[in-house]
Amino acid sequence: MATPKKTKTKKPSGISSLRVPATRTKDPDIAKFQEASRKRLGYVRNFLQLPWGKGRLPLYQGYIDLLMRGEDGRLPARERELLALVTSVENRCEVCVVSHASALERMGMAKSLVDLLCVSWRRAGLAPREHALAEFAWVLTKDPAGADESYLDILRDAGLSELEIMEAAQVVAIFNANNRFNSVLGVKVNPEAHAGYRKS
């Protein structure tokens, strides 16, 4: 594989490997997401300060927010976060691992269990349903080309409904995309996020 040529341009901004400054926007759509992040977490996530272009962030982040925090979710919030964490650990996406590990702790999951999930979900002693969700997230992330109905049977055998399976597939799919996006752009973990995870 050819090695990409390095170009002499501006230094990275500090929030990612992009050589552009963090976005300081007056766009009300972007400002809305930044303010929601500040209220929920106490800081604006670096992801929300990237140069998204008009109209794109609301579609992308809006979908994630609805999927992960919408009141009409079919899976419990803890199960959605578990799917996102196992996916992100498999993809080695540090931004998402810290984010979803912290979310699970805020939901009451013991830090010792969260730490195990970040190393090996198989050894975490999960209940059968959560184990099946973790296996589904892992296998779909590791071998997407092999995905067939047997992947869905993992969840059916654990008692999940067809609509719950539909939602689980959405969570794993969007965070595989998100992991790749964060990784290729070198999006940094906010210092506040890292500090918060270490303290919890």
Cβ 74 vs Cβ 161: under 8 Å:
yes
Measured torsion, CA atoms of residues 90, 171, 188, 54, in degrees rounded to the nearest 10 = 150
- Calculate ∠ Cα 138-182-60, nearest 5°: 90
Query: What integer pLDDT is reported at residue 196 of this predicted model?
Result: 62
Query: In Å, what is the CA distance from 143 to each residue of 40, 139, 147?
Result: 34, 6, 7
Q: What pLDDT digit, counting tens, does each position of 35-49 carry?
A: 999 999 999 999 999
User: Is residue 53 scored above 80 in pLDDT?
Assistant: yes
Instruction: Determine what percent of the chain is predicted with pLDDT higher than 70.
Output: 90
107-117 pLDDT tens trace? 999 999 999 99
Determine the residue type at 144: P
Query: Would you state the torsion angle of the CA atoms of residues 186, 40, 32, 174, taken in this order, to the nearest 10 degrees?
Result: 50
What local confidence, expressed as pLDDT, does residue 27 receive?
Answer: 85
Confidence category of residue 197, pLDDT binned at 50, 70, 90: low
Query: pLDDT tens across 119-132, in order?
Result: 999 999 999 999 99
Q: Is the pLDDT of residue 79 over 90?
A: yes
**Structural domains in the chain plus CATH codes:** 28-69 (no CATH), 77-199 (1.20.1290.10)
| Cβ contact 60:47 at 8 Å | no
For 37-64, b where at least 16 C-beta lie within 10 A, e where not — what string?
beeebeebbbbbbbebeeeebbebbeeb
83 within 8 A of 141, measured Cβ to Cβ = no
Percent of the chain exceeding pLDDT 90 equals 80
2: confidence class by pLDDT, cuts 50, 70, 90? low
Q: What pLDDT, on the 0 to 100 scale, is given for residue 5?
A: 62
